[in-house]
Amino acid sequence: MFKPKCIYFEKNIENFELGKFLLEKYKDIPKIEIENHNNIEEMRKKPNSEFINMKTNLIIGTRKTHKYTPNHKVSDFLVPYTSSGCSAMCMYCYLVCNYNKCSYMRLFVNREEMLNKIIRTSEKSEKELTFEIGSNSDLVLENEITGNLPWTINNFVNSKKGKLTFPTKFDMIDDILPLNHKGRIIVRMSVNPDEIIRKVEFGTSRLENRVKAINKLAEAGYKVGILIAPVVLVENWKQLYSNLIKYLSEQLTEKAKREIFFEIIFMTYSYVHKMINNEAFPNQIQLFDQEKMTGRGRGKYMYKKEIREDGEIFLREQLNRYFKGKTILYVV
């Protein structure tokens, strides 16, 4: 259970139900009032070596911008929702590209405003829309603090139509199992070989527990997908990913396998990751591999085309072997 060492909060959070709840829940935790969650000068000035300590803070405010980004993968829109950032520390975390070392967890207490906008957009649309609400954080982890997932699901499924989806690397899903979700929630579990989880995805749930969570969600009638993400091409990657896919085929229940679908995302990396990881985790694995990676503009790196293609062919073969006929929505 994440227990913040210090809370930075915007004064007006006390005007919101969730804000009041959090102030009461953390009444014994030291607090610092801030003007704006986006610009905490004290944090911006800290050295990269402070990254791990910075992740122990919790920032609470209100979300001011609510711009939807069209999306054409699992959802129709990426929607800013109740949190951004995260208290875990995956060494490749995409949020570091946006927030740099300030990718600690921020909670936004104006959840009614955000959910109402989703519902209005959904009900106005002729087409049945799916909204990705977890692209800025991990909502299962956030739920441990806020209880926002049952709140969201219960309120959303009372609306006329539409679906919500979110990815996670965590197994604490028991809260949502008994809910009457009406088949309108799609949970996508992100998986990696356990060796990569241990060496790279610090603070997340272990593979075995993620797989158990998939089985429980499927049993509770949720539609569940599997994200093999991000694929990290360490030296023995073929062996690791083949074992992972075989393990999934052995451990998932028949019910979970029946409707499962896959997404595959290869790791991207950046100069900012390199700087933070070198200073915050000096003895850990080096994810930047000059032999295998190439620039992708503005300090970003991706796997070279032919290496990525080899990876894609291999993973498709393995999925075809162990999950014949199951949909692979996309490989990026």
Binding site for ligand SF4 (CB under 6 A): 86, 88-90, 93, 95, 137-138, 169, 201, 204
In whole angstroms, the minimum distance from the beta carbon of 186 to ligand SF4 comes to: 17
Minimum Å gap between C-beta 87 and ligand SF4 is 7
DSSP assignment string, 123-144: HH-SS--EEE--TTS-HHHHHH
SS3 202: strand
Three-state SS at 244:
helix
Q: In this complex, which beta carbon is closest to ligand SF4, that of residue 93 or of residue 119? A: 93
Q: How far apart are CB 89 and ligand SF4 at their closest, in Å?
A: 6
- Chain-centre distance for alpha carbon 86: 8
Q: How far is the CB of 170 from ligand SF4 (least distance, A)?
A: 7
Of 48 and 253, the one with the shorter C-beta distance to ligand SF4 is: 48
CA distance 332 to 25: 41
- How far apart (Å, rounded) are the C-alpha atoms in residues 142 and 159? 23
Residue placing its CB nearer to ligand SF4 in the complex, 210 or 223: 210
Yes or no: say if 199 and 284 are a contact pair by the CB < 8 Å rule: yes
Residue 262 CB, nearest distance to ligand SF4 (Å)?
Answer: 18
| Residue 306 structure tokens | 């032919």
Beta carbon nearer to ligand SF4, 12 or 98: 98
- The answer to whether the bond into 193 is cis (omega within 30° of 0) is no
- Least separation in angstroms between residue 204's CB and ligand SF4 is 5
Quickly count: other Cβ atoms within 10 Å of residue 25's Cβ: 12
Q: Which residues on adjacent β-strands are paired with residue 105? A: 58
Q: Which residue's entry shows tokens 């995302």?
A: 265
Nearer to ligand SF4, 23 or 95 (CB): 95
Describe the chain by its helix, strand, coil percentages, rounded to 5: 40, 20, 35
Give the residue with the Cβ less far from ligand SF4, 285 or 313: 285
Ramachandran sector of residue 183 (left: φ over 0; alpha: ψ -120 to 50; beta: rest): left
Nearer to ligand SF4, 62 or 204 (CB): 204
Least distance from ligand SF4 to the Cβ atom of residue 86, Å: 3
Q: Which is nearer to ligand SF4, 84 or 122 (CB)?
A: 84
Query: Are the C-beta atoms of residues 174 and 219 closer than 8 Å to each other?
Result: no
- Shortest CA distance to 214 belongs to which of 179, 260, 269? 260
Nearest distance from residue 62's CB to ligand SF4, in Å?
21
Compute the C-alpha angle 198/202/208, nearest 5°: 50
